[in-house]
C-alpha cells in the first residue's frame, strides 16, 4: 500500500509566506537506478519495507554530508526523506570534541518546534578558560563589538558544516542550535546535485487553511 502525506497548519501571518516542514524533503529516484529498483521492491510489502532503501539513504548521506533516513513511501513514486536528527547531533558532538579547547559538550532538549518536526538538541559547549574562544565569548558578554565572536561563529559553522544559531550564555560557554529549516533548503540543493540517483526534489510544503470570516 502507498501513502500520501500532507501537513495542515494555521495560516502564516498574511498568508503570503510559503512554509515547509523542516528536516524533510520529497524525492523521486531516477528511472533505472538502483534506488528506483529498491523502491519497486519495497512497495511490494505491506507495509512497504523501508529497510530496502537504507543503501540509498546511506549513499545520499555520503553525497550530501547530511545524515538521512527514508521516512515514508508516498504515492506517485515519491519518497519522504528525513534528516536523521540523532545522527546529526552525535556527529556534531564528535566534531566539537576534536577541538583542543573544548572541555565539554552536552546535548539538551530544545524548544518544541511543532508536531512531526524532528527534535533537534541544543548543544551546550564549554571551553577552556583563557582560550581564544573564551576570550571571544567574554567580549560578547561584555557588549563589545562582535569581531572576535563573529569569527568564532563562522569558524564553528565551517567546522560542523552546518547552518547554526549560536549564543553566549555565560563565560567560556556557548549554546549552539542547528538551523534545521536552513539545513533543509541546503539539503534540497545538494540532492539535486546527485542526478545519478535523484530525478526530482521537492520541499514538503505545508498546506495552510485560511480563516473564514
Which pLDDT tens digit goes with each residue over 166-185? 999 999 999 999 999 999 99
Average pLDDT of the chain is 87
Full domain range(s) for residue 16:
8-84+182-209
Res 16 pLDDT > 70:
no
Residue 104 included in any domain: yes
Tell me the three state secondary structure of residue 13. Answer: helix
Give the mean model confidence (pLDDT) for residues 21-32: 96
Residues 135 and 148 in one domain: yes
What pLDDT score does 126 carry? 98
Q: Do 79 and 100 fall within a single domain? A: no
Q: Is the dihedral of CA 148, 150, 155, 160 positive or negative?
A: positive
Q: Does residue 69 lie in a domain region? A: yes
What's the pLDDT at 1? 32
142 and 91 share one domain: yes
Same domain, 186 and 164: no
Same domain, 187 and 129: no
Do both 90 and 74 map to the same domain? no
**pLDDT, tens digit, for every residue of 114-171?**
555 667 899 999 999 999 999 999 999 998 877 899 999 999 999 999 999 999 999 9
What local confidence, expressed as pLDDT, does residue 10 receive? 30
Residues 106 and 163 in one domain: yes
The number of distinct structural domains making up the chain is: 2
Q: Are residues 16 and 76 in the same domain?
A: yes
| Other Cβ atoms closer than 10 A to 18 | 9
Residue 151, in any domain of the structure: yes
Q: What is the pTM of this model?
A: 0.82
CA–CA distance, 3 with 72 (Å, rounded to integer): 8
Selected residue with higher pLDDT from 15 and 143:
143
- Overall residue count recorded for the chain in this entry: 213
Kindly state whether residues 50 and 93 are assigned to the same domain: no
Q: Is the dihedral of CA 205, 107, 175, 113 positive or negative?
A: positive
pLDDT band per the 50, 70, 90 thresholds, residue 212: low
Q: Are 204 and 19 in contact (CB under 8 A)?
A: no
3-state secondary structure of 147: helix
Answer yes or no: do 129 and 57 share one domain.
Answer: no
Helices (H), the chain: 34-42, 54-64, 85-97, 132-141, 147-160, 180-192
Domain check: are 146 and 166 in the same one?
yes
Segment 79-98 mean pLDDT: 96
Amino acid at each position: 500500500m502507498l501513502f500520501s502525506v500532507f501537513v495542515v497548519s494555521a495560516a502564516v501571518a498574511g498568508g503570503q509566506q510559503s512554509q515547509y516542514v523542516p528536516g524533510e524533503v520529497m524525492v523521486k529516484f531516477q528511472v533505472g537506478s538502483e534506488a528506483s529498483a529498491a523502491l519497486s521492491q519495497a512497495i511490494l510489502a505491506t507495509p512497504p519495507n523501508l529497510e530496502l532503501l537504507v543503501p540509498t539513504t546511506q549513499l545520499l548521506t555520503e553525497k550530501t554530508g547530511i545524515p538521512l533516513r527514508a521516512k515514508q513511501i508516498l504515492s506517485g513514486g515519491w519518497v519522504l526523506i528525513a534528516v536523521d536528527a540523532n545522527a546529526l547531533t552525535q556527529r556534531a558532538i564528535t566534531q566539537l570534541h576534536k577541538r583542543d579547547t573544548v572541555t565539554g559538550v552536552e546535548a539538551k532538549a530544545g524548544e518544541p518546534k511543532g508536531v512531526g518536526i524532528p527534535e533537534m538538541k541544543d548543544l551546550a559547549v564549554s571551553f577552556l578558560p583563557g582560550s581564544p574562544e573564551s576570550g571571544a565569548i567574554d567580549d560578547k558578554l561584555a557588549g563589545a563589538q562582535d569581531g572576535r565572536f563573529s569569527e568564532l561563529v563562522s569558524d564553528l559553522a565551517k567546522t560542523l558544516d552546518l547552518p547554526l544559531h549560536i549564543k553566549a550564555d555565560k563565560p567560556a560557554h556557548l549554546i549552539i542550535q542547528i538551523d534545521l529549516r536552513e539545513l533543509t533548503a541546503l539539503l534540497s540543493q545538494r540532492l539535486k546535485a546527485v542526478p545519478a540517483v535523484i530525478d526530482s526534489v521537492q520541499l514538503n510544503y505545508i498546506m495552510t487553511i485560511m480563516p473564514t470570516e
